[in-house]
């Protein structure tokens, strides 16, 4: 039986493994974590609304009924396509007949080391928890040192894409709850500054929705700065390109990610460091290697532009790779990959979201309802759906964020 | 207005603060964490059943309606009773009229440094999470290196008190779920060894209940070793006092705690390092200082033995200190402290617990039902009760432990 090795159990890798479940190939799925993470809701963990377990799901449980799929928690550090072998961090050599690269993306600080040192990112479970703790700790520090409150309670978020917008909104809605808990901080100045280098938020949406998002954030108290970015950062101050200096309590980086290949990959790469693939998502010159999701420069259709680094393209490219492998095993050929655009959405806060579903543009309450339904639907597992629904309901009714405790690293 | 400073927001300190809520004194409650922890269920966090947020509750929320109580997250490192001042880790001096010492206990490894280096404890939220991650990681390691599985899958728990018994039972019930998830480990040998230095488990209970607990644990596959302890420990081997050597995957320390005073305390101490107090729970020679809970050697009644380090004595001594302070403020005197024994209980697993409530001794299913009701009743806050009930129900019906993912420290 042919052996398919899949690197990464994110949206792409897991979709591929599931599409190969109980077929005629042997599947080995590898990831350095033992869980699949529903990253679109990570900002809710970082803002004390959801528990990690609400959005993280053990990979083994997700694949329990897939008898031909074995999961192992390990990291791959080298790919040797000529030998059809991957090498793990423990120097183990694993042979493959088909390889699916789905290792996703990591933060891109564009070489700004000062930013990298001071910023909190929001793309893994550990860093989301760290950001949550840091934000809660900022309020505790402000309560301890009221003369320094303006410093501790200034939050600068860099990047006006969905992550930045959603986190800014969630943070703004956390502030009144914190004020209620911290008597002496009732009138303390809390600033949330959202920086976007371009002339509007949510560049992937149509301009009216961008404007709606900015307006709603401003209603929540967020200072939206367009055409502005970080010029310099120290431990206590952020200097913006506009020249303004703001005291720095918390810096959140939501301004970009780049592909996270497993070690140095011997494949052609694009300017953005994604693996160059053909219309069938195979790495150029390597018939037995697929690169999908954030890692592959997968075109929406032959000769079209590469897809954005989002969960929907990852899932669709993962399923396509599975179909292509099964077809090749049967000696059949399949049509080139073609992306089905189901739309994009971002939530700003209670009763406010923007959604673009083909010709349909939603905002405000209808957009928010749509967002709720879609996110619940795509969460893995009934238990997680139920837990998230319960917690959203609690938050909705009581305006409360229950998961507000700081767990220091021991 | 007189100012009461309470050190510690555990069972004792929080009970004291609540009993002083909205009275004629000013209360300042200090803790190094911003949450109150329901420690009796900590072993369920360490065994992947509960989320941290199910048993941790923000102190500020618990005291939101107490208008005279201020909480601050800080650590106290020195007590100066002659000046009526406590000094914080930030060198801030805080004056008090009344001081309540409720800083609880920490692990006692009895000077065995090798044990301290290799053991996981189970008395704080960070170490419970670390233990959970370590246990899950052991299965991942065993799956990666089957020849070494016996090593990774041996769990040694030291201490046959409630913590050791409850964790052994919870771990034993986790094993079949892990086997279901880890195909290749279906027949791998998993050993759970519970060591107790005395001749029976649960020394605080009557002997028939101890015997019942041992029998139930053995039915779950736990090897119960009485009159046996650790003689020596290395990274890979535990040597028991009986001479036996066992490979060591995970070592859990549940064999003892000792008082955790805030810095060096200028008060008389017992042999066990608890603060010597009079029948009114005041530190000997210091009328304005109370020592309660695990820290104070509080007698069950005048001239009786000191109370064990458990949550019920902490709560009752905390409430008494509050009453004593209010009485003194009014110029009244109150009767000496007298403990009301409501009983003790420990759970062994599904449908099995032992409970001793005065003359009433329960075991098996009735003991288990009683345990459920009591623990739910004492959990702080409706939301937590509801969340825990949901998760217990899920586990009960589906034999599942959903929170099975490893979060590395970043």
How far from chain centre, in Å, is Cα A262? 18
Q: CATH topology for A113-255?
A: FAD/NAD(P)-binding domain (3.50.50)
**With a threshold of 0.90, does the pTM exceed it?**
no
* Closest chain A residue to B49, measured at CA: A53
User: Which residue of the set A75, A78, A130, A166 is catalytic?
Assistant: A166
Tokens of B251: 């070592």
Please indicate if any CB of chain B lies within 8 Å of the CB of A402: yes
- Work out the pLDDT band at B243, boundaries 50, 70, 90: very high
Q: How many angstroms separate the CA atoms of B227 and B200, rounded?
A: 8
* pLDDT at residue B144 in the model: 86
Please indicate if any CB of chain A lies within 8 Å of the CB of B74: yes
- Cβ-contact B324, B286 below 8 angstroms: no
Q: Which of A265, A321, A331 has its CA nearest to residue A298?
A: A321
- Judging contacts by C-beta atoms under 8 Å, the chain A residues touching residue B70 are 183-184
From first to last of its 410 residues, what are the pLDDT tens digits of chain A? 899 999 999 999 999 999 999 999 999 999 999 999 999 999 999 999 888 888 998 899 889 889 999 999 999 999 999 999 999 998 999 999 999 999 999 999 988 899 999 999 999 999 999 999 999 999 999 988 888 888 999 999 999 999 999 999 999 999 988 888 887 778 888 999 999 999 999 999 999 999 999 999 999 999 999 999 999 999 889 999 999 999 989 999 999 899 999 988 999 999 999 999 999 999 999 999 999 999 999 999 999 999 999 999 999 999 999 999 999 999 999 999 999 998 899 999 888 899 998 889 999 888 888 888 888 887 776 667 777 777 777 777 777 776 777 776 54
B74–A34 C-beta distance less than 8 A:
no
Q: How many angstroms separate the CA atoms of A12 and B357, rounded?
A: 55
Please indicate if any CB of chain A lies within 8 Å of the CB of B364: no
A408–B394 C-beta distance less than 8 A:
no
Measure Cα distances from A245 to A138, A150, A193 in Å.
19, 13, 12
Domain boundaries, chain B: 3-107+257-329, 113-255
> What is the number of CB-based contacts under 8 A between chain A and chain B?
118
Cβ contacts of residue A209 below 8 Å, gap of 6+? A202, A354, A356, A361, A363
- Judging contacts by C-beta atoms under 8 Å, the chain A residues touching residue B405 are 33-35, 52-53, 56-58
Beta pairing, strands B3-7 & B98-101: parallel
Please indicate if any CB of chain A lies within 8 Å of the CB of B148: no
CATH assignment, B3-107+257-329: 3.50.50.60
Please indicate if any CB of chain B lies within 8 Å of the CB of A70: yes
- Judging contacts by C-beta atoms under 8 Å, the chain B residues touching residue A182 are 60
Residue A330: is it exposed, middle or buried by C-beta count within 10 angstroms (0-12/13-18/19+)?
exposed
Tokens of A108: 């891109």
pLDDT above 80: residue B404 = no
**For domain A3-32+74-107+257-329, which architecture applies?**
3-Layer(bba) Sandwich (3.50)
Q: Which residue has the tokens 């020195």?
A: B78
- Work out the pLDDT band at B349, boundaries 50, 70, 90: confident
Beta bridge partners of B93: B87
B83: DSSP letter: T
* DSSP character string of A83-101: TTEEEETT--EEE-SEEEE
User: Which residue of the set B116, B166, B306, B329 is catalytic?
Assistant: B166
Question: At CA B283, angle to CA B281 and CA B286, rounded to 5?
Answer: 120
């Amino acid at each position: 039986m042919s052996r398919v090795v899949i690197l990464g159990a994110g949206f792409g890798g897991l979709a591929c493994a599931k599409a190969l479940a109980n077929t005629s190939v042997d599947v080995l799925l590898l990831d350095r974590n033992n869980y699949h993470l529903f990253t679109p809701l990570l900002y809710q963990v970082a803002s004390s609304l959801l528990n990690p377990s609400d959005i993280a799901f053990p990979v083994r449980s997700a694949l329990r009924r897939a008898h031909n799929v074995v999961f192992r928690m390990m990291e791959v550090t080298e790919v040797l396509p000529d030998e059809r072998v991957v090498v793990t961090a423990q120097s183990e050599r694993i042979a493959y007949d088909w390889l699916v690269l789905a290792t996703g993306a990591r933060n891109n600080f564009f070489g700004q080391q000062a930013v990298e040192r001071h910023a909190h990112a929001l793309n893994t479970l550990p860093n989301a928890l760290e950001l949550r703790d840091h934000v809660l700790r900022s309020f505790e520090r402000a309560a301890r040192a009221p003369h320094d409150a303006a410093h501790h309670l200034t939050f600068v978020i860099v990047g006006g894409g969905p992550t930045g917008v959603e986190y800014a909104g969630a943070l703004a809605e956390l502030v009144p709850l914190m004020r209620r808990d911290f008597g002496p901080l009732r009138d303390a100045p809390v600033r949330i500054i959202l920086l976007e280098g371009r002339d509007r938020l949510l560049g992937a949406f149509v301009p009216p929705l961008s404007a709606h998002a900015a307006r709603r954030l401003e209603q929540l108290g967020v200072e939206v700065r367009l055409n502005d970015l970080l010029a310099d950062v120290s431990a206590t101050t952020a200097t913006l390109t506009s020249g303004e200096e703001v005291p720095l309590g918390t810096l959140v980086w939501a301004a970009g990610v780049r592909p996270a290949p497993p070690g140095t990959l011997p494949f052609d790469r694009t300017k953005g460091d994604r693996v160059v693939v053909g219309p069938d998502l195979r790495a150029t010159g390597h018939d037995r290697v697929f690169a999908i999701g954030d890692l592959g420069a997968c075109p929406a259709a032959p000769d079209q532009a590469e897809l954005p680094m989002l969960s929907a393209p990852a899932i669709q490219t993962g399923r396509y790779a599975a179909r292509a492998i099964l077809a090749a095993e049967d000696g059949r050929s399949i049509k080139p990959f073609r992306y089905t655009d189901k739309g994009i959405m971002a939530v700003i806060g209670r009763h406010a979201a923007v959604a673009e579903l083909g010709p349909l543009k939603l905002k405000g309450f209808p957009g928010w309802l749509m967002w709720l339904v879609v996110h619940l639907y795509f969460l893995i597992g009934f238990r997680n759906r139920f837990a998230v629904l319960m917690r959203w309901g609690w938050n909705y009714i009581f305006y409360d964020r229950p998961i507000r405790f700081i767990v220091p690293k021991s």
